């Protein structure tokens, strides 16, 4: 079996770059896509704003303290979606194996590609050039033989980066990598690993698989493999999903309604991007809460119509949060999941799609 050739493409500051493209007066200036009011949150920040420490999911008030001259621009999600379609169309001219992760990033398996080009690096360069020509935007690309390494590589030389991890270099590269750079290891997990003396890939590699699974559950098996540059996941363009969602474990347990609302917005935005990228529009919303004592509760609501825009998703999840007890106990994790999707109905065999009256 030939060694796989995987490209991960990640657009640079996607929302903010579109705004600077369409509004010349914002170019070279620190901008944030979002709303600047007290309970606002940064959806995306330009690289000029990032120099001041402004990041996505940051409360707007915090962002303005870091960068008083920050310009807030209301999001235009329909425009971002249209640009994303253009980019995905470019991907499909090279391969049918395209797995979008959100509006602005995707995996491509170009082991067998339409142009019959044997060089994954040259294909990645060509894709970056075509994206710039068609959209006027900059993308970064990572190239390697599995998804884990390709995603790390795409983030290595941002912005406008192109980085290749060859099979013979992979293990040594991972050993030298800070643990925070591993895909799937967030701030909370990184802090836990630091307390265990794990700071680099080499440190992680010295820990047995049994201990990692005991400490981190199922993710421990993934960490064990990733420390050895192993990732056997395939690029799957048409996976049938039963649900889609996202959750976040907070660095410190939360109790104020303002902080919880801000964090919920960030999670809802991530869920919507995944829904839209996968064309997965469900009717059931589930809000998951884990308290500081590890008690887990969930609240679900099923709508008559599918959830096909962010405003509906956000309004309902925000309302659901008000029905959760946030006064007696602090919250360490929140998650939003969408299920009961029409996409599943359409995927059924044709003979099952008859009208049924109970």
181 phi and psi angles, rounded to 5 deg: -85, -5
Give buried/exposed letters for 112-124 (b at 16+ CB in 10 A, else e). Answer: ebeeeeeebbebb
The answer to whether residue 105 is catalytic is: yes
In sequence order, which ranges of the chain are alpha helices (DSSP H)?
A: 14-22, 47-50, 60-66, 77-92, 120-135, 147-154, 170-175, 187-195, 201-205, 209-216, 219-226, 257-278, 310-322, 342-346
- Pairing outcome for strands 71-73 and 98-102: unpaired
9 phi and psi angles, rounded to 5 deg: -105, 130
CA atoms within 13 Å, Cβ hemisphere of 236: 8
CA-closest candidate to residue 181, choices 158, 201, 160, 161: 201
Of 105, 166, 210, 342, which one is the catalytic site residue?
105
Identify the DSSP state of 103. T
- Tell me how far apart the alpha carbons of residues 344 and 354 are, in angstroms, rounded to a whole number: 15
- Chain-centroid distance of CA 150 in Å reads 15
3-state secondary structure of 331: strand
- CB 75 within 8 Å of CB 33: yes
Query: Which are the catalytic amino acids?
Result: 105
């Amino acid at each position: 079996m030939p060694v796989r050739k995987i490209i991960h493409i990640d657009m640079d500051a996607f929302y903010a770059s579109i705004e600077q493209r369409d509004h010349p007066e914002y170019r070279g200036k620190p901008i944030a896509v979002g709303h600047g009011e007290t309970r606002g949150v940064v959806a995306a920040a330009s690289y000029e704003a990032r120099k001041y420490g402004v990041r996505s999911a940051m409360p707007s008030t915090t962002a303005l303290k870091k960068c008083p001259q920050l310009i807030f621009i209301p999001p235009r999600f329909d425009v971002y979606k249209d640009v994303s379609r253009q980019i995905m169309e470019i991907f499909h001219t090279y391969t049918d194996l395209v797995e979008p992760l959100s509006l602005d990033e995707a995996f491509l398996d170009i082991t067998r590609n339409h142009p019959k080009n044997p060089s994954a690096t040259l294909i990645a360069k060509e894709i970056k050039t075509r994206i710039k020509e068609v959209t006027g935007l900059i993308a970064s690309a990572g190239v390697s033989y599995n998804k884990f390494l390709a995603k790390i590589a795409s983030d290595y030389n941002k912005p406008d980066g192109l980085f290749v991890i060859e099979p013979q270099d992979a293990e040594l590269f991972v050993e030298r990598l800070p643990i925070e750079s591993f895909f799937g290891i967030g701030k909370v997990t990184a802090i836990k690993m630091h307390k265990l003396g794990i700071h680099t890939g080499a440190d992680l590699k010295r820990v047995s698989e049994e201990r990692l699974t005991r400490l981190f559950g199922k993710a421990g098996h993934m960490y064990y493999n990733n420390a050895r540059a192993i990732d056997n996941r395939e690029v799957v363009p048409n996976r049938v999903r039963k649900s889609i969602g996202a959750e976040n474990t907070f660095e410190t347990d939360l109790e104020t309604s303002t902080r919880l609302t801000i964090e919920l917005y960030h999670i809802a935005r991530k869920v919507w991007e995944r829904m839209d990228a996968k064309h997965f529009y469900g009717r059931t919303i589930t809000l998951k809460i884990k308290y500081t004592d590890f008690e887990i509760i969930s609240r679900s609501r099923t709508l008559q119509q599918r959830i096909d825009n962010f405003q509906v998703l956000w309004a309902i999840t925000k309302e659901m949060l008000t029905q959760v007890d946030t006064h007696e106990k602090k919250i360490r994790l929140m998650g939003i999941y969408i299920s009961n999707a029409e996409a599943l109905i359409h995927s059924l065999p044709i003979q099952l799609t008859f009208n049924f009256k109970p």
